[in-house]
Structure 1
Amino acid sequence: MKILQILESPLPITSPGANAMVDFAGLTTTAVAVVSDQMREGKPLVGFGFGSIGRWAVGGILRDRMIPRLVAADPADLRDDCGLVDPFRCWDVAMRNEKPGGHGDRASAMGALDMALWDLRSKAEELPLYRLLANRFRSGVADADVAVYAAGGYYVPGKGVEALVDELKGYLDLGYRETKIKIGAASLAEDLARIEAAVATMGGGDRVAVDANGRFDIQTALTYAKALEPFKLRWFEEAGDPLDFRLQAVLAEHYDGPLATGENLFSSQDARNLLRYGGMRADRDILQFDCGLAYGLPDYLRTLDIMHSHGWSPRSVHPHGGHQMSLHLAAGLGLGGNESYPGVFQPLGGFADNSEIKDGRVTLPDVPGVGLELKGDLWNWLNDTFDA
């Protein structure tokens, strides 16, 4: 098996609204297509990937560094003993001469490329990715379904509490039982009114998480924590800057409820520092590392090993991103659940078009690869852009 061509393109993401730090007008990510010499039904076998959701396109890093390294490599150096393209060997080649540290856009570029390579590999083995992962890393045991929560509650001009309640009722109608809403862009009083409405609509604080997207300084984080405590929420997410481990540790000393963070940590090294210095509690807190933003699966597996060495279960991980790659990791590696974007960040948000949420859980389609072809709008864009 040989890679013939690697293509990349910015992929526009439609998503109205804002969180406490940014709005999403004009947001893009990077899509990747890895074209192989293998044929299926008269067409080359192609792996597709993208750099998750919430960060901008990073095509320059791929075009200038990572793709040329793979294209210039001896094809034998990219294959394993089965003769198939090996994502681990490709990762090593793509990351050659990359200096340690600086885990920013480079991590997303590698994440997009790595997703496409795993899509290609699982298609070559004619397995859904989650089953391939379970076979390799979990003695063949895959979860039959995955717990998912609906991420929404974004700030939109003119959107009040009544509109938020209507949004959450829509998630309940779709089969979700837990949700997450944004805080931090309004006053504390306004946010508390939104939270009260969300708790009443969803049927309890344990079904509602809140996310400040890194907005607060330590005093504001503690003020919110005191106000949130009576709600007994599912979790309080990313109160302060994701690299302010001292803030996270102090918050954990003052807030008994579950805390969540990690979506904006892009390497196993940063994950290790969070567990060392961030005061995170393995008995209740949630980690949200996103494979697509954090160098892809090889480094994600290192993160899971680090978690294990610090006494954490993989069930504490609920990946950020609301996309199919994270869902495959959750089912194949035994993670605790997965985010879902049923109404935003299209065409990437949510899962396959035919996926059905039942009582807050979803199954994965039994098709080879990641299954991006099963999202109609996304597949039309991939087909038009890469002539797939």
Structure 2
Amino acid sequence: MRILEIREQNVPLQSNIRNSVVDFSQMTCSVIAIITDVIREGKPVIGYGFNSIGRYAVSSTLRDRLIPRIMQADPESLLDSGGKNLDPFKIWDITMKNEKQGGNGDRAHAVGAVDMAVWDTVAKVEGVPLWKLLSDRFNNGQYDEQVFTYAAGGYYYPGKGLEALKNEMKSYLDRGYTAVKIKIGGATLDEDLKRIEAVMEVVGSGNTLAVDANGRFDLEKALAYGKALSPYHLMWYEEAGDPLDYQLYATLSEHYTGPMATGENLFSLQEARNLIRYGGMRPDRDFLQFDCGLSYGLVEYLRILDMLERHGWSRRRCIPHGGHQMCLNIAAGLQIGGNECYPDVLKPFGGFADHIPVDNGYIRLPDIPGIGFEAKNDVYAVLKQVAGQ
């Protein structure tokens, strides 16, 4: 087996939304295609990946450093012990060769994109869905046939009022979701409370509504919001402050008794471990949202899961950010807590297989080799273009 070529392309997201910090209208994404000499059904096996959702493309890092390292390596050094498939762990080590520790930012997203494409390739060569491969290799053959998912939306749009917000939430319930998430922090506290109450009129209770501040608040404002949110008994209060301000989270956890969530903007095992050590996160109620597409890929995510279990955390407390199919496979094959979904925004990368509906808050996975991109027409059209197909 040989890798013939690795291609990268900068692709824009199709969104005009904003949260409390970021305008997504200029957001881009790096898409990877690994083209191999393995033939299945008369066509070469091609593995696809991207650097998740909500961070910019990392073209320079990929083209100037990471991809050349893989392509210049001894081809045998990329293979597993049988010599018939890629070894994601060996490729991860080669990709990270001559990289300093720390500085976990855009590099983590670039490695995550490559890692995703490698795992897609491996599962396709094996001829099995990725969730099945993960179950067999890392979870004693156990897996979840369906995965909990919630609809992430409630962004700020120009001129979007409460009725439009309620209609958006109604549309998610009509499509089978039972839990939703909206943004806070991009308006005043009073305005955000009115938005929360409007959504609760639709979903019926706070325990099916999460709110996300996208790291906007300092400690004083995080505490003020926490006090105001407490009576609603929300599903969780997400990313109140800067993701690396562990003291803020530790202090907030002493005052806010409801579930908190964070982790999507932590990009390595070390950062995740510091959150667990110093961030006051509570394994009986809080949620961890590490996204492999942003944090060095599944190879690193497996290390994070091992660390969490050694610190007394259940995998079920992990519900990754990103709303993409890679994390969905991880959720099923490794039996973590669920997966986010963006039904209407951040296209084409958000969402799951076209032919599988959400049923009472749960989603099944397609039974096709790889991650399952080929079952989602809008994203597959982009991926094929990158591969020159």
TM-score for both structures, normalised by structure 1: 0.99
Aligned to 1:239: 240
CA displacement at 1:26 relative to structure 2: 2.1
How far apart, in 2, do the equivalents of 1:92 and 1:99 lie? 13
CA displacement at 1:350 relative to structure 2: 0.6
Aligned to 1:274: 275
Secondary structure at the aligned position of 1:308 is classed as helix
Matched-pair contact (CA < 8 Å) for 2:31–2:386? no
How far apart, in 1, do the equivalents of 2:348 and 2:286 lie? 30
How far apart, in 1, do the equivalents of 2:379 and 2:339 lie? 20
Task: Tell me if 1:205 matches 2:203.
Answer: no
How far apart, in 2, do the equivalents of 1:113 and 1:383 lie? 16
TM-score for both structures, normalised by structure 2: 0.99
Moved over 2 A (4+): none
Matched-pair contact (CA < 8 Å) for 2:20–2:214? yes
How far apart, in 2, do the equivalents of 1:383 and 1:363 lie? 24
Task: Tell me if 1:214 matches 2:245.
Answer: no
Task: Tell me if 1:333 matches 2:334.
Answer: yes
Secondary structure at the aligned position of 1:283 is classed as coil
Aligned to 1:37: 37
CA displacement at 1:15 relative to structure 2: 1.3
Secondary structure at the aligned position of 2:156 is classed as coil
Equivalent residues, number: 388
Aligned to 1:77: 77
Matched-pair contact (CA < 8 Å) for 1:169–1:201? yes
How far apart, in 1, do the equivalents of 2:201 and 2:107 lie? 42
Matches within 5 A, 1:220-231: 220-231=221-232
Matched-pair contact (CA < 8 Å) for 1:14–1:26? no
Aligned to 2:50: 50
CA-to-aligned-CA distance 1:50-77 (integer Å, 9 cap, x gap): 0000000001111111111111111111
Aligned residues: CA RMSD: 0.7
> Which has the higher mean CA deviation after the structures are superposed, 10-19 or 269-278?
10-19
CA displacement at 1:385 relative to structure 2: 2.8
Gaps spanning 5+ residues in structure 1: where? Answer: none
The residue type paired with residue 20 of structure 1 is: S
Task: Tell me if 1:122 matches 2:120.
Answer: no
Secondary structure at the aligned position of 2:7 is classed as strand
CA-to-aligned-CA distance 1:123-179 (integer Å, 9 cap, x gap): 000010000000011001110100000000000010011000000000000000000
Aligned to 2:305: 304
CA displacement at 1:82 relative to structure 2: 2.1
Matched-pair contact (CA < 8 Å) for 2:7–2:386? no
Matched-pair contact (CA < 8 Å) for 1:237–1:260? yes
CA displacement at 1:384 relative to structure 2: 2.3
Matched-pair contact (CA < 8 Å) for 1:88–1:298? yes
Secondary structure at the aligned position of 2:293 is classed as helix
How far apart, in 1, do the equivalents of 2:272 and 2:314 lie? 14
Matched-pair contact (CA < 8 Å) for 2:33–2:386? no
The residue type paired with residue 3 of structure 2 is: I
Give % identity.
Answer: 58
Matched-pair contact (CA < 8 Å) for 2:115–2:298? yes
The residue type paired with residue 26 of structure 2 is: G
Aligned to 1:377: 378
> Which has the higher mean CA deviation after the structures are superposed, 195-204 or 101-110?
195-204
